[in-house]
Amino acid sequence: MVKRSLVTRMSFFSRIFCQRSFQINKFSTSSVCSNLKDRNNGILLYASNSMKEKKRLPFVPGSNTSKNGFQDRKRPNNVPRKKPRFQWTSGSERAQRAADQVLQQVFNMNGRGVVKVVDQETNKLVETTVLEFVRGVDLDKCGLSIVNLEERSGYQIPLLKLIDVKAALKKHSDEIGRRKRDELSRMGLPSKRMGKSNEHEKSSDNVKHIKVSWQISDFDLAKQKANEISSQLKKGFKVNLYIDSKDALSKANWADKFEGIDNYDDNRKKISNRELKRREEVLEQLKLIYEELTLQPTIEGDLKSRIILRLLPKPVMAKKEDKYALKELRRKQKQAKLEKRLERKKQRDEDESG
């Protein structure tokens, strides 16, 4: 009996001892875990700050670096970038689409939409964002246009300007037409097959372009060129005559020479008086060809360089009047040709006697 009570007491004390030991171990374990947790949090915070410092890059418009110097998260390739839009409060739908097109072009050049504009007060170029610039723009009166580009390292900054709304709409229509033509050409289809040509294409189809060299012979001018010019005018086509030297007209980019034709430079190659007289003769013979078939022509350029004659046909005549006009034209051409020959012969005689 005594032995059993001793065993019972020993088991009771052993249980109490084990429970207290477990509580002590539990307390010490939780304390250690808490210390380890604080220590790990400190390590993670230090590592995160270090990574942020390493990712600090200079701010560049159009890059994936934000203004605070941290690198933005890259967008997955399969997720398209949302187009930036501005909520317009004025203008027609076409005017708004034209303005949105310019905005998209700006953001394609640099992702931040940085532009240069002329300050109305100081009349100097200032740098701003396109969304800030278009605030308060009345699309009923004006539109947007990119007039120049400034190249910088890795991106472009456009020079933005306000233009008349009609000019902006025309520019937008031309851009849409160009895109359609490019798309059709990539598909291998001619643009006329679609039957949807814009007004510019229609007007250009009604204009025939004819080249005439200053060195053309009287025979070719009276026969071949006269027939080519008169036949197009009789059909109701507008005719542009491009008159230049034979060498210039034979080049692939001959039309580029006629851009800005009125800006004549006195430092160009000098020509002799004899050549000037010959050019005057060419113009006179051309006048005999078109004067009965056209309204008042438009002349651009200079006799010392190159000239464009823009001819507008008269209303279509009846067949009898057409035949009579052609006979009268040929008679005048023959008479003028005979007079020119006599004048040149007289000039040669005077030169020989002198």
If one compares 176 and 265, the residue with the highest pLDDT of the two is: 176
If one compares 348 and 78, the residue with the highest pLDDT of the two is: 348
Architecture of domain 206-353: 2-Layer Sandwich (3.30)
105: Cβ contacts below 8 Å, ≥ 6 apart? 146, 158
- Work out the pLDDT band at 255, boundaries 50, 70, 90: confident
Give me 49's structure tokens.
């700050």
What does the longest C-alpha to C-alpha distance in the chain come to? 172
Determine contact, residues 229/290, Cβ cutoff 8 Å.
yes
- Work out the pLDDT band at 45, boundaries 50, 70, 90: low
Count of all residues that appear for the chain in the document: 354
Looking at every residue in the chain, the average pLDDT score rounds to 74
Alpha helix ranges (H) inside the chain: 2-54, 93-109, 130-133, 165-187, 199-205, 218-220, 226-234, 246-249, 273-290, 319-353
Q: Using the 8-state DSSP alphabet, how is residue 129 labeled? A: E
What element of type H or E holds 308? strand 307-311
86: Cβ contacts below 8 Å, ≥ 6 apart? 99, 100, 103, 131, 134
- Work out the pLDDT band at 8, boundaries 50, 70, 90: low
Determine contact, residues 97/167, Cβ cutoff 8 Å.
no
Residue recorded with tokens 């390739």? 77
What element of type H or E holds 243? strand 238-244
Q: Which of 275, 251, 347, 268 is nearest to 305 (CA)?
A: 268
- How far CA 126 is from CA of 56, 136, 148, 160, in Å, comes to 28, 18, 14, 11
- Work out the pLDDT band at 91, boundaries 50, 70, 90: confident
- Work out the pLDDT band at 242, boundaries 50, 70, 90: very high
How far apart are the C-alpha atoms of 332 and 321, rounded to whole Å?
A: 16
Domain ranges for the chain, please list them: 33-81, 93-187, 206-353
Percent of the chain with pLDDT over 70: 65
Q: Which residue pairs, CB below 8 angstroms and at least 24 apart, start in 167-171?
A: 167/143, 168/95, 168/98, 168/99, 168/142, 168/143, 168/144, 169/94, 169/95, 169/98, 169/143, 171/98, 171/143, 171/145
What is the residue type of 252?
A: A
Task: Indicate yes or no: pTM above 0.75.
Answer: no
Q: What is the mean pLDDT of residues 107-112?
A: 88
